[in-house]
Structure 1
Amino acid sequence: MPSISKKGHQMPESPIRKLAPYAEKAVKQGKKIYHLNIGQPDIKTPEIALKAISNHSLKILEYSSSNGSEQYRKKIANYYSKHKIDVNQDEIIVTTGGSEALLFAFGSILDTDDEVIIPEPFYANFNSFSTASGAKIVPVISKIEDNFALPPIEEFEKLITPKTKAILICNPGNPTGYLYSKEEINKLAKIVIKNDLFLIADEVYREFIYDGNEHYSILREPNLENNAIVIDSVSKRYSMCGARIGCIVSKNKEVIKTALKFAQARLSPPTLAQIACEAALDTPQSYFNDVKNEYVKRRNTLIEGLQKIDGIKVAKPKGAFYCIVELPIKNADNFAQWLLESFDVDGETIMVAPAAGFYSTPNVGLNQIRLAYVLNEESLKKSILILEKALKKYKD
Structure 2
Amino acid sequence: MSLAISQRGQAMPASPFRKLAPFAEAAKQQGKKVYHLNIGQPDIATPPSLFEAVRQADIRVLAYSHGAGTDSYRQKLAAYYHRAGIEVSTEEILVTTAGSEAILFALLTCLNPGDEVIIPEPFYGTYTAFAIAAGVNIVTVTATIDNGFALPPLAAFEQVITPRTKAILLCNPSNPTGHVYTRRELEDLLGLCQRHGLYLLSDEAYREYCYDGARSISALNLPGGEEHVVVMDTISKRYSACGARVGSLVTRNKTVYLAAFHFAQMRISPPGLGMLLGEAAVDLPESYFDENRAEYQARRDLTVARLQAMPGVQCPVPGGAFYVMAHLPVDDAERFGEWLLTDFTYENQTLMLSPANGFYQTPDLGRQQVRIAYVLNLNDLAAALTCLEHALLAYPDRTLAPQAVAATAEALA
TM-score range, shorter chain: over 0.9
What is residue 305 of structure 1 aligned with on the other side? 306
What is residue 223 of structure 1 aligned with on the other side? 224
Displacement, 1:6?
A: 1.0
1:278 aligns with 2:272: no
Q: Output aligned runs, 1:172-251, within 5 Å.
A: 172-251=173-252
What is residue 169 of structure 1 aligned with on the other side? 170
| Letter of the structure 2 residue corresponding to residue 81 of structure 1 | H
1:337 aligns with 2:328: no
What is residue 48 of structure 2 aligned with on the other side? 47
Displacement, 1:96?
A: 0.6
Question: For residues 164 and 374 of structure 1, what CA distance do their matches in structure 2 show?
Answer: 36
What is residue 349 of structure 2 aligned with on the other side? 348
1:292 aligns with 2:293: yes
Question: For residues 77 and 361 of structure 1, what CA distance do their matches in structure 2 show?
Answer: 39
Question: For residues 270 and 35 of structure 2, what CA distance do their matches in structure 1 show?
Answer: 33
| Letter of the structure 2 residue corresponding to residue 276 of structure 1 | L
Question: For residues 65 and 267 of structure 2, what CA distance do their matches in structure 1 show?
Answer: 12
Stretches of structure 2 that go unaligned for 5 or more consecutive residues are 398-413
Q: Percent identity?
A: 48
Displacement, 1:55?
A: 1.2
Question: For residues 275 and 326 of structure 2, what CA distance do their matches in structure 1 show?
Answer: 36
What is residue 155 of structure 1 aligned with on the other side? 156
What is residue 253 of structure 2 aligned with on the other side? 252
What is residue 319 of structure 1 aligned with on the other side? 320
Question: For residues 348 and 223 of structure 1, what CA distance do their matches in structure 2 show?
Answer: 53
| Letter of the structure 2 residue corresponding to residue 172 of structure 1 | P
Q: SS state of the match for residue 193, structure 2?
A: helix
Question: For residues 115 and 180 of structure 2, what CA distance do their matches in structure 1 show?
Answer: 27
What is residue 65 of structure 2 aligned with on the other side? 64
Question: For residues 363 and 55 of structure 2, what CA distance do their matches in structure 1 show?
Answer: 48
Question: For residues 295 and 249 of structure 2, what CA distance do their matches in structure 1 show?
Answer: 29
Displacement, 1:388?
A: 1.1
| Letter of the structure 1 residue corresponding to residue 56 of structure 2 | N
Question: For residues 157 and 3 of structure 1, what CA distance do their matches in structure 2 show?
Answer: 39
Question: For residues 247 and 224 of structure 2, what CA distance do their matches in structure 1 show?
Answer: 25
What is residue 404 of structure 2 aligned with on the other side? none
Displacement, 1:247?
A: 0.5
Question: For residues 69 and 241 of structure 2, what CA distance do their matches in structure 1 show?
Answer: 18
Displacement, 1:113?
A: 1.2
What is residue 405 of structure 2 aligned with on the other side? none
Q: SS state of the match for residue 235, structure 1?
A: coil
1:131 aligns with 2:132: yes
Question: For residues 299 and 8 of structure 2, what CA distance do their matches in structure 1 show?
Answer: 40
Displacement, 1:375?
A: 0.5
Question: For residues 277 and 231 of structure 1, what CA distance do their matches in structure 2 show?
Answer: 16
What is residue 401 of structure 2 aligned with on the other side? none
What is residue 402 of structure 2 aligned with on the other side? none
1:262 aligns with 2:277: no
Displacement, 1:58?
A: 0.2
What is residue 94 of structure 1 aligned with on the other side? 95
1:30 aligns with 2:6: no
Displacement, 1:380?
A: 1.3
Question: For residues 167 and 259 of structure 2, what CA distance do their matches in structure 1 show?
Answer: 16
Q: Output aligned runs, 1:74-89, within 5 Å.
A: 74-89=75-90
| Letter of the structure 2 residue corresponding to residue 169 of structure 1 | L
| Letter of the structure 2 residue corresponding to residue 254 of structure 1 | T
Q: SS state of the match for residue 8, structure 1?
A: helix
What is residue 371 of structure 2 aligned with on the other side? 370
Displacement, 1:395?
A: 1.9
Q: Alpha-carbon deviations, 1:51-94, whole Å to 9, x = none? A: 01111110111111111001101110111111221110111110
Q: Alpha-carbon deviations, 1:23-78, whole Å to 9, x = none? A: 11111110001100000001111121110111111011111111100110111011
Q: Alpha-carbon deviations, 1:133-192, whole Å to 9, x = none? A: 111110000000010001111111111110000000100000000000011111011100
Structural RMSD (CA): 0.7
What is residue 13 of structure 1 aligned with on the other side? 14
Question: For residues 388 and 264 of structure 1, what CA distance do their matches in structure 2 show?
Answer: 51
Q: SS state of the match for residue 149, structure 2?
A: coil
Stretches of structure 1 that go unaligned for 5 or more consecutive residues are none
| Letter of the structure 2 residue corresponding to residue 101 of structure 1 | A
Question: For residues 256 and 291 of structure 2, what CA distance do their matches in structure 1 show?
Answer: 37
Displacement, 1:378?
A: 1.1
Q: Alpha-carbon deviations, 1:187-212, whole Å to 9, x = none? A: 01110001110000100100001101
Q: Alpha-carbon deviations, 1:338-367, whole Å to 9, x = none? A: 111111111100000000000111110011
Runs of 4+ in 1 over 6 A off after TM superposition: none
Q: Alpha-carbon deviations, 1:276-328, whole Å to 9, x = none? A: 11111001111110000001110000100111100000121100000001011
1:113 aligns with 2:79: no
Displacement, 1:218?
A: 0.6
- TM normalised by structure 2 equals 0.95
Question: For residues 84 and 40 of structure 1, what CA distance do their matches in structure 2 show?
Answer: 27
What is residue 140 of structure 1 aligned with on the other side? 141
What is residue 380 of structure 1 aligned with on the other side? 381
- TM normalised by structure 1 equals 0.99
Question: For residues 330 and 165 of structure 1, what CA distance do their matches in structure 2 show?
Answer: 38
Question: For residues 225 and 302 of structure 1, what CA distance do their matches in structure 2 show?
Answer: 39
